Amino acid sequence: SGVSRRHILASGALAAGAAGLGWGTRDVVARANDVDTAQGSSTVPFYGEHQAGIATPPQAWGTFVAFDLPSQAQRGDVVGVLTAWTEDAARLTQGKPGLADLEPELAANPSRLTVTIGLGPRVFAVTGTEQHRPPWIAPLPSFDIDELDEKFTGGDLLLQVCADDPVPMAHAIRVLSRSVKTRATVRWVQRGFRDARGSVPEGATMRNLMGQVDGTNNLSPKEPDFGRLVWHNSTQYAWLNGGTSMVVRRIEMELDTWDELGRNDRELSMGRTLVNGAPLTGKDEHDEPDFDAKDRFGIPVIPPSSHIARARALHPDEEFFRRAYNYDDPPSPGQVSNSGLIFATFQADIEKQFLPIQRRLAEFDVLNEWTTPVGSAVFAIPPGCEQGDFIGRPLTG
């Protein structure tokens, strides 16, 4: 009593406590220095031909924040937001404080922080550039399987903020949201996660909360086709060249009814094993599935109703890049869990690449029994920019 907290800290009480455990002060310091901070100081370049956070190997944490512009917003407001976001994102992602940063220390360990900026369908009307809006930068058509909640649907602007550490990510979101608060208001926030960095081998395919290996037959930025399928390139919408489009579907998993399914049925619904994600006709994760293989009764080994049988590309254009995050939010009363996927995809053209597969899955996919789309949003992702420029300038001028 009578000893202030500051006094305790100043007197080295912590080291004294450690000494009681048999450690000397020097050991404590040595152990603290042993911590590998290389991951914290890792940065991903902000400037460049493409925005970061797409071909970037997925970070452990991802937050998606959609914003609304006020009804009277004009081109200048959009340019103001994009300029502020570009300046702050260019600094924060390199471990430097934002321009009016009140907690600059929180910017010091960016941990591969990326900020990806998206433009929702209404931005084109607001900026008087409707003629430059690809028709598929629009809300997705509604599907019978959808039970969309306004809370996770639509949005005029998007920030996808990812990092391997949630602290710099939370800080970046705060700085970026505050700097535009007179011009745009938060519409929804979706927080997601994947395996923590270092807990699984680098480059391992993630698992979703149904336990499946998720992302095996996904495009890889290392593939030659990635550029053609992900980065937009047309003469009609030339402002978007080097950019892409993003679909964000929030898909709830009905884990309580999924619990009632045996392991074998779970594998049949996907067409892949749970242990390592191998197709039911193979042994290793990356074995090619054989959709023609039949068992001794003549029944297909991979059911035609399974998710991979329905989702696989039937045409070379029907491919897109999935960069999903798990979510696990507080359950509502009576619910055990509230989990699912923030199913984010990137593609050069939504109509040609994404919609044929989404339509097929909405028509039939046995996995629909345990999954429900509850949110949906579409954004144009402008190309990257060089220092001195801002993201979105080729559209807004």
H or E stretch covering 119 = strand 114-119
Sketch the per residue contact string, 253 through 282, with ligand HEM: x for CB under 6 A, - otherwise: x----------------x-x----x-----
Query: Residue 75: CB partners within 8 Å, gap ≥ 6?
Result: 126, 127, 128, 396, 397
Q: What is the nearest approach in angstroms of ligand HEM to the Cβ of residue 339?
A: 10
Contact segment (CB under 6 A) with ligand HEM among 133-141, 214-222, 254-262, 385-393 equals 214-222
Per 3-state DSSP, the chain is made up of helix, strand and coil in percentages (nearest 5) of 30, 20, 50
Nearest to 327 by CA among 246, 253, 247, 248: 253
Q: Which of residues 234-253 bind ligand HEM (CB under 6 A)?
A: 249, 251, 253
Residue that is written with structure tokens 């460049």 in the block: 48
Contact segment (CB under 6 A) with ligand HEM among 28-36, 92-100, 208-216, 294-302 equals 208-216
Q: Which is nearer to ligand HEM, 92 or 280 (CB)?
A: 280
DSSP 8-state class, residue 178: H
Q: How many helices (H) and strands (E) does the chain have?
A: 13, 11
Decide: is 208 part of the binding site for ligand HEM (CB under 6 A): yes
Q: Which is nearer to ligand HEM, 136 or 343 (CB)?
A: 343
Q: What is the nearest approach in angstroms of ligand HEM to the Cβ of residue 84?
A: 33
Q: Which of residues 33-72 bind ligand HEM (CB under 6 A)?
A: none
Contact segment (CB under 6 A) with ligand HEM among 57-65, 144-152, 204-212, 260-268 equals 204-212
Contact 342, 324 (CB under 8 A): yes
In which region does residue 48 sit, left (phi positive, over 0), alpha (psi from -120 to 50) or beta (all else)? left
Q: Which of 73, 210, 377, 391 binds ligand HEM (CB under 6 A)?
A: 210
Q: Which of residues 320-359 bind ligand HEM (CB under 6 A)?
A: 340-341, 343, 357-358
Q: How far is CA 27 from CA 11, 12, 312, in A?
A: 18, 14, 56
Q: What is the nearest approach in angstroms of ligand HEM to the Cβ of residue 354?
A: 6
Q: How far is CA 363 from CA 45, 142, 247, 317, 342, in A?
A: 41, 12, 19, 20, 21
| Interacting residues toward ligand HEM by CB under 6 A | 208, 210, 212, 214-218, 249, 251, 253, 270, 272, 277, 307-308, 311-312, 340-341, 343, 357-358, 361, 371
